[in-house]
Structure 1
Amino acid sequence: MLKTAVEIDKAAMILKLFGDRTRLTMMKILDHHDCCVCEFVEIFQASQPSISQHLRKLRDVGLVREERRGQWIFYSINKSNDYYPFVQKILDQLPDQDHKLKELEEQGTRITCC
């Protein structure tokens, strides 16, 4: 059975997670690209533990998933999550963030872990 509405408690939890600029930007990037922690470290100029904490919060509620590729873990949006349609409507309202990955490519720092 297809859900047509998100429970208020779940919506509040998701919106609280999205209230953090870093997590919101991560989600927008992940909506179109898989990324490794090291790429987010470069994009946000933040520590690896800080980035990992943000990703853990998103993963714990099922909004992102991780996939091991060799010794590295890549993150992507979990589009099969029950709340993805709600999340997608929010992300669709945000400006594209592809330029952040393009800057990494131009600097030669995209996917530095691989």
Structure 2
Amino acid sequence: MKVSTVDIEKTAMLLKLLGDKTRLTMVKILDSHDCCVCEFVEIFKMSQPAISQHVRKLKNVGIVGETRRGQWVIYSLNKQSEYYPLIQDLLEHLPNQDDKLQELEEQGLRISCE
């Protein structure tokens, strides 16, 4: 199995992007669950424009993809990204974030975009 490599400049950019706790947590959540902005707003207790800005930065480098469901945009981790193998290695070392989604479900907010 050949391990893909990402050049130093791109890796530095990626690590800087993921150096933000909110974005890193978003990526960890998206590794196992697709989410919409409104769910992130509730999870992080941040404004919709602030969350959209974080998502946009992740989308711009191809880490995150989007799918439309009616009027909603659902975000997911782009597992086809050249960065995914590196991200996957990094995410293995982070604690599971499912409790954040469980909390949303208990508050009745998890399916707010369906």
Counterpart in 2 of 1:14? 14
Output the TM-score relative to the length of structure 2. Answer: 0.95
Q: Residue deviations 1:89-112, cap 9 Å, x none?
A: 011110000000000001111132
Gaps of 5+ in 1: none
Does residue 85 (structure 1) correspond to residue 85 (structure 2)? The answer is yes
Gaps of 5+ in 2: none
How many residues matched?
113
What SS does the aligned partner of 2:53 have? helix
The answer to whether the 8 A contact 1:38-1:111 is kept is no
> What do you get for the CA RMSD once the two structures are aligned?
1.0
Which amino acid is 2:95 matched to?
Answer: P
Q: Residue deviations 1:7-39, cap 9 Å, x none?
A: 000100110011100000000000000000000
4+ residue stretches of structure 1 with deviation over 3 A?
A: none
What fraction of aligned residue pairs are identical, expressed as a percent? 65
The answer to whether the 8 A contact 1:63-1:78 is kept is yes
Counterpart in 1 of 2:45? 45
**C-alpha separation in 1, matches of 2:19 and 2:4:** 23
